Amino acid sequence: MTQPYQNVTVLGAGAWGTALAQVAAAAGRDVLIWAREDEVVQGINQAHENTLFLPGQKLNPAVRATADIAEAAKADLILAVPPAQHMRSVLRSARPHLQLGAPLVLCAKGVERGSLALMTDVLREELPEIGPAVLSGPGFAKDVARGLPTAITIASPDAALAQRIVATIGLPTFRPYFADDLIGAEIGGAVKNVIAIACGVAEGRKLGDGARAALITRGFAELTRLGLAMGAKAETLSGLCGLGDLVLTCASLTSRNTSLGAALGEGRALKDILAERRSVAEGMESAPAVVALAAKYKVEMPICQAVDAIVGERISIDDAITALLSRPFKAEGV
């Protein structure tokens, strides 16, 4: 039997990080979650609740919190869950304190703006001695924290490492499947957030279920084109961390990205929407980088381009919709 890691640290106490801490605790691990906010640390340690990012969900008392990254970094296994645009700074802060040989799992979905780096690229640049592993797939934090059935992907070129991570956090209701395709796992998670904003816009504009189905399907074509151009495997992109994650995120207003798009589609100003939110909508942050990657690899991604222009406030929603609907008719497989 594969020996699990016992001491698990979660770097990042947003909703998803908190949910993963809950999973690890339910699996019997000793769990420490690192948060920047003293309010979050106190709430988890005293009331067993993250009232800022996952309110209303009682946490396993085995989950402890700290604001000291030096303390947090001393673990057998680290789940890195900061927003994608902050992954580099968090890894850099943790680097001097990491246990020799301790693996790190990247759990953020996005592409770094400016550098166009995937999270595995960021890890390689900041911590080249650590072999990469990625956790991705369809799951909402509130459902995972409640113990509702969820399946995700653990991707790593090291099969033994992937299996040990699965043994550490796997539960009957939290089912990790392993894969060796890092690029597919990462591209699926990054692009689906951008497409979800488009689906939210369609919801807010009341364009109907057919429009959402078309956006999901053609969005999957965009995701696949970019992933294959970057070296991903088709079966990864059509699995949990690609198609599965896309369908979940685009089909529910529980998604921060879909709800952001819906608010925009209803005519609300972006600055007003963002002023009400603590959590990051990764699709908004990743959209410019995804579009830049599409240009770099010479693939067409018109939906992602439209989302980038909308959130960048370079085009109105009505003009973006008109532009998409005015594209030439062509064969579906193109």
Tens-digit pLDDT profile for residues 183-232: 999 999 999 999 999 999 999 999 999 999 999 999 999 999 999 999 99
- Residue 77 in contact with residue 7, Cβ under 8 Å? yes
The domain ranges of the chain are 7-180, 183-325
Catalytic residue, chosen from 192, 206, 271, 296, is 192
- Residue 117 in contact with residue 175, Cβ under 8 Å? no
Please, which pLDDT band fits residue 291 given cuts at 50, 70 and 90? very high
From the list 158, 169, 165, the residue with the least C-alpha distance to 131 is: 158
Q: Tell the burial category of 84 from Cβ atoms under 10 Å away from its Cβ (0-12, 13-18, 19+).
A: buried
Please, which pLDDT band fits residue 281 given cuts at 50, 70 and 90? confident
Mean pLDDT, rounded, for 273-302: 94
**Mean pLDDT estimate for the chain:** 96
Q: Which fold has domain 7-180?
A: Rossmann fold (3.40.50)
- In tens, the pLDDT along 24-43 reads 999 999 999 999 999 999 99
Look up residue 81 and give its amino acid.
Answer: V
From the list 32, 143, 148, the residue with the least C-alpha distance to 79 is: 32
pLDDT at 17: 98
pLDDT at 280: 82
* Domain 183-325: CATH superfamily, name plus number: N-(1-d-carboxylethyl)-l-norvaline Dehydrogenase; domain 2 (1.10.1040.10)
Let me know how long the chain is.
334
- In tens, the pLDDT along 100-125 reads 889 999 999 999 999 999 999 999 99
pLDDT at 1 over 80: no
CA triple 207-210-211, angle to 5 deg: 50
- In tens, the pLDDT along 159-192 reads 999 999 999 999 999 999 999 999 999 999 999 9
Coil vs helix vs strand at 62: coil
142 as an active site residue: the answer is no
**pTM as predicted:** 0.95
pLDDT at 278: 84
